[in-house]
Chain A
Amino acid sequence: AQKVTQAQTEISVVEKEDVTLDCVYETRDTTYYLFWYKQPPSGELVFLIRRNSFDEQNEISGRYSWNFQKSTSSFNFTITASQVVDSAVYFCALSGPSYNTDKLIFGTGTRLQVFP
């Protein structure tokens, strides 16, 4: 069975602090994909990153970085120098290999509040 666990329900930080959101996944597939989505208060889900199971390179995009470790089945997300606009719910998601669908298994989300 596939499962995504985001143990942190809510995190509060002050602006300019670094913050790491944890994601642990379970799957029996050897090929799989991991995603992070951001859901601001307005409600839409915004795609942030996709990583496949064969690519364990860490990725950095501006203030965002992702650490993928297959040995611990984790795909953690770090925001450096957080800003108020980063306040949102962040979802980690898992997808198995498929030809005709990109179905996602979502974690329960982590609500990040960044205070000025």
Chain B
Amino acid sequence: DAMVIQNPRYQVTQFGKPVTLSCSQTLNHNVMYWYQQKSSQAPKLLFHYYDKDFNNEADTPDNFQSRRPNTSFCFLDIRSPGLGDAAMYLCATSRPTGTHSNQPQHFGDGTRLSIL
């Protein structure tokens, strides 16, 4: 089945140790999104890619970076994780039609990140 896959499901890292979360998709969607969701809160958009064009949200900390080497894969890099970065990280994709007809986003299962 076509889907959005996030690995790993659970990630533990040490305070200050760089960590990379991965997302892959078989939907061939040209937009990929990364969200941060803290406990009992709504998902918060960090950034998104439209094809290779990177779009950062204004309030996303510099500590968060992203790479999209090809259509199928997108990575979230946290350069120096702090305790406040412990959260669920959700990847999503969509395929805008270019006709003002906003399409649903398709989400992965998420990666729950813990910081020791």
Q: Counting chain B CB atoms within 10 Å of each CB, which of A35, A37, A44, A95 scores highest?
A: A44
> From residue B41, how far is it (CB to closest CB) to chain A in Å?
7
> From residue B34, how far is it (CB to closest CB) to chain A in Å?
12
> From residue A43, how far is it (CB to closest CB) to chain B in Å?
4
How many interface residues does chain B have, given as a range?
Answer: 20 to 34
The chain A residue sitting closest to B90, CB to CB, is: A45
B94→A109 contact, CB < 8 A: no
* Residues of the A chain whose Cβ atoms lie less than 8 Å from the Cβ of B101: 52
B107→A44 contact, CB < 8 A: yes
Interface SS, A side: loop
B42→A33 contact, CB < 8 A: no
Contact with A along B16-38 (1 / 0, CB 8 A): 00000000000000010100000
Judged by a CB distance under 8 angstroms, whether B102 is at the interface is yes
Judged by a CB distance under 8 angstroms, whether B48 is at the interface is yes
A109 to B50, CA, bound (A): 27
For window 67-116 of chain B, which residues contact chain A by CB distance below 8 Å? 88, 90, 92, 94, 96, 98-110, 112
Write the residues of chain B forming the contact surface with A, with a CB cutoff of 8 angstroms: 31, 33, 40-43, 45, 48, 50, 55, 88, 90, 92, 94, 96, 98-110, 112
Write the residues of chain A forming the contact surface with B, with a CB cutoff of 8 angstroms: 31, 33, 35, 37, 42-47, 50, 52, 91, 95-104, 106-109, 111
